[in-house]
Structures are given as C-alpha cells and as structure tokens.
Amino acid sequence: MGTKRRLGAAVGATGVAVLLVRLLVKVNDAARYPDSLKVLAVVVLLLAVVVPMWLAWLFHKARTFKAQLQLAHPGALVVDTFWTGRELGRFLKKGPLSPKAKGTGYVLALVADARGIQLVRPRRRPVYFGLVPWEQVVSVRMETLRRPLERRPMVIIEIDSWGTPYVAVFRLVPSGRQNRETGMDLAEMILAKRPRVPLPEDRA
C-alpha cells in the first residue's frame, strides 16, 4: 500500500473514531430526556452520524476510482457524474449489458480521450459499457436539471447510436465536486478531447 493510501486510510479511521465518540456523547445526553423523546433523539442522532459517514465513504470511494481511471487512461478527462433512471431516463439499450446497469441511481464516470467517450460504473470489477468514437458523437451540451429545491447542471450527449450499446441521447448529472471544478464549461472540456481535424491551409 502506498504512502498516500495509508495516509488516507488513517485519516478515514480517525474520522470514524471521532464520529463514534460524538455519537456516544450525544446518546448519553439523550438519556436525560423522557422515554418517548429518548427514542426519537437516538434515531435522529444515529442518522446525523451514520449518514455523513456513509456519504464520506462514498465520496472517498469515488475519488479513489477516479484516480484509478486516470492512471488507466493517461491524458483522458475523467468526469464524476450521477445517474438516476427516474430523472434522466435510460443510457443503455436493452441488451447483454443491461443487467450490469440495474439500479435506481449510482455513480458513473465519463471518460473522454482522443478515441471517444465511454461510461464506466465503479464496482469491484469496473464495468466498461463501451466506447463511442468521436465520429459518432453528434453533440455534447449543458442544460439545467430543475428540481423542487435546486437546479443542477446536466450534461446531454447525443450520438449516432448504431453499433453502440447506448441510446441516442443520454443525460448525466455531474457530481457536486465536479460542478465546483467545471460548472457549465464541462461540455467544452469534453469536446476539447476530440482530435482536431486539420484544415486545408494547415496541411499546405
């Protein structure tokens, strides 16, 4: 295990220990309340500690996976996104890869390099859903996903889907950290990985 990974594991373990100590202190405080309130207080406190721990674990896992993809694809742009079928619709056609895309929502990494665009799902063995060559990419653009209490940038990719496992148009929501880093410029950053076609005057 490398030094950075050992340091990350140590920091994570320390964070979990601190949260557990805080939980024990809060549960002890909750014991002073009447019985009906004790149960509610303990449940709320458990959620207040467990949910941040779970989210921290997810974010750490996503960052680790992104770093692994960047090592496997030197020079590529790796984008953290989240997909939910209810809001964004399908990204795959029905076929042999469909069982690997099951779920109501999960993290998807978009990898853009000189060859094209592909989606990868982080699992014990990463699931590569297939490459879309740049020749089949029709457009990459940003729009806004409107939710009751928030608005989020959304990347929309339109392709010529013949010969690929993807539907003709699929939508992804960049992660919060990705939004802070790229925002609405993300589409241009993805398209920047498309090899430039020399103009006639360049070849002269």
Task: Show the domain range for 105.
Answer: 74-191
Shared-domain flag, residues 44 and 133: no
Question: Which position has the higher pLDDT, 196 or 55?
Answer: 196
109-119 per-position pLDDT tens digit: 999 999 999 99
What is the predicted pLDDT for the residue at 42? 59
In a domain, 158, yes or no: yes
Task: Please state the separation of Cα 105 from the chain's center in Å.
Answer: 10
Tell which of 15, 44, 65 closes a domain: 65
Q: Show the DSSP H helices in the chain as ranges.
A: 3-30, 35-72, 85-88, 176-182, 186-191, 200-203
Confidence band (pLDDT; 50, 70, 90) for 17?
low
Residue 112 three-state SS: strand
Cβ contacts of 140 within 8 Å, gap of 6 or more: 117, 155, 156, 157, 158, 187, 190, 191
Shared-domain flag, residues 97 and 182: yes
Shared-domain flag, residues 34 and 82: no
**Per-residue pLDDT for 1 more than 50?**
no
In a domain, 204, yes or no: no
Average pLDDT of the residues in 138-164: 90
Tell which of 65, 86, 113 closes a domain: 65
Residue 29 three-state SS: helix
Shared-domain flag, residues 23 and 108: no
And the tokens for 134? 């740049």
Question: Which position has the higher pLDDT, 132 or 197?
Answer: 132
Confidence band (pLDDT; 50, 70, 90) for 3?
low
**Per-residue pLDDT for 102 more than 80?**
yes
Shared-domain flag, residues 155 and 101: yes
Shared-domain flag, residues 48 and 149: no
Task: Give the predicted TM-score (pTM) of the model.
Answer: 0.68
Residues 130 and 118: their CA atoms lie apart, in Å, by: 6
User: What CATH number does the domain containing 131 carry?
Assistant: 2.30.29.30
Tell which of 26, 43, 65 closes a domain: 65
Shared-domain flag, residues 103 and 168: yes
What's the chain's average pLDDT? 78
